[in-house]
Amino acid sequence: MALQLGQVAPDFEADTTMGRIRFHEWIGDSWCVLFSHPKDFTPVCTTELGYMARLMPEFQKRNVKIIGLSVDPVESHKGWSKDIEDVMGAAPNYPMIGDPDLRISKLYGMLPASAGDTSEGRTPADNQTVRNVFVIGPDKQIKLIIAYPMSTGRNFDEILRVIDSLQLTARRKVATPVNWQPGEKAIILASIPDEEARKLFPQGWEAKKPYLRYVDVNA
């Protein structure tokens, strides 16, 4: 069955480039981005993993841990990291999970049960569904799932934007409008009546419609 938002992310143990982990224990009280790629030594993913390494300080500011995954073994990841650093100027500074028995990829619904039990002989095309991004909260619930096509590099700046929205809306009774960026006005939840909203947001708000109330959460 496919994973859904709000579901507890499946726990697992696995070997990574930074040692063996138990996933939920490794996340701890942090947020987490788990992102997968179809195969080591592939062009698009080389650019992605290097860019994620360069973004690490931004994720750390938000108390977010990063972890990568592919169906290749850990030793392959370590060899590929040299190419990533050569091309992108930064090697992965986060753990990369080795999943050669496809166990975690299947656990997260990224490969079908019929995919077999080993990564040996598999091509990027065979593994193309292993190209997902999961954002997981400190409560271990899945907050975001995005699956990308093989030909399209992922926009990790957008993942940061979504995390900013998720963290804001976890603290305040608001949602964020289209193309929202940190510092911009949010929207008071439609389920909050005006009487309660006046207590929560004494600075007031701008009502475009009775159900659409923009509020400056930075005031």
Do 102 and 196 reside in the same domain of the chain?
no
Higher-confidence residue: 142 or 117? Answer: 142
14 SS3 class: strand
CATH code (residue 181): 3.30.1020.10
Tell me the pLDDT tens digit for each residue of 89-140. 999 999 999 999 999 999 999 987 777 777 777 778 877 778 999 999 999 9
- Shared-domain flag, residues 29 and 107: yes
Type of residue at 194: D
**Mean pLDDT over residues 189-215, rounded?**
96
CATH of the domain at 135: 3.40.30.10
Query: Which H or E run contains 160?
Result: helix 156-171
Residue 80 sits in the same domain as residue 148: yes
The proportion of the chain whose per-residue pLDDT surpasses 70, expressed as a percent, equals 98
Query: How do the residues of the chain divide into helix, strand and coil, expressed in percent and rounded to 5?
Result: 30, 25, 45
SS3 178: coil
Largest CA distance in the chain: 63
- Active site positions, annotated: 45
180 is written with which tokens? 């929202």
Residues 70, 40: contact at Cβ < 8 Å?
Answer: yes
- Domain range for residue 193? 172-215
Q: List, for residues 73-98, the tens digit of each pLDDT value.
A: 999 999 999 999 999 999 999 999 99
CA distance 93 to 81: 10
Position 27, amino acid: I
Q: How far is CA 55 from CA 34, 43, 140, 182, in A?
A: 14, 19, 23, 17
- Cα 171 to its chain centre, rounded Å, is 19
pTM metric for this prediction: 0.92
Residue where a domain terminates, one of 108, 124, 153: 153
Query: Do 185 and 215 contact (CB within 8 A), yes or no?
Result: yes
CA distance from start to end of the chain: 44
The count of domains in the chain is 2
**Is residue 69 within 8 Å of residue 11, measured between CB atoms?**
no
| 129 and 183 share one domain | no
Shared-domain flag, residues 51 and 99:
yes
pLDDT of 1 over the 70 cut: no
160 assigned to some structural domain: no
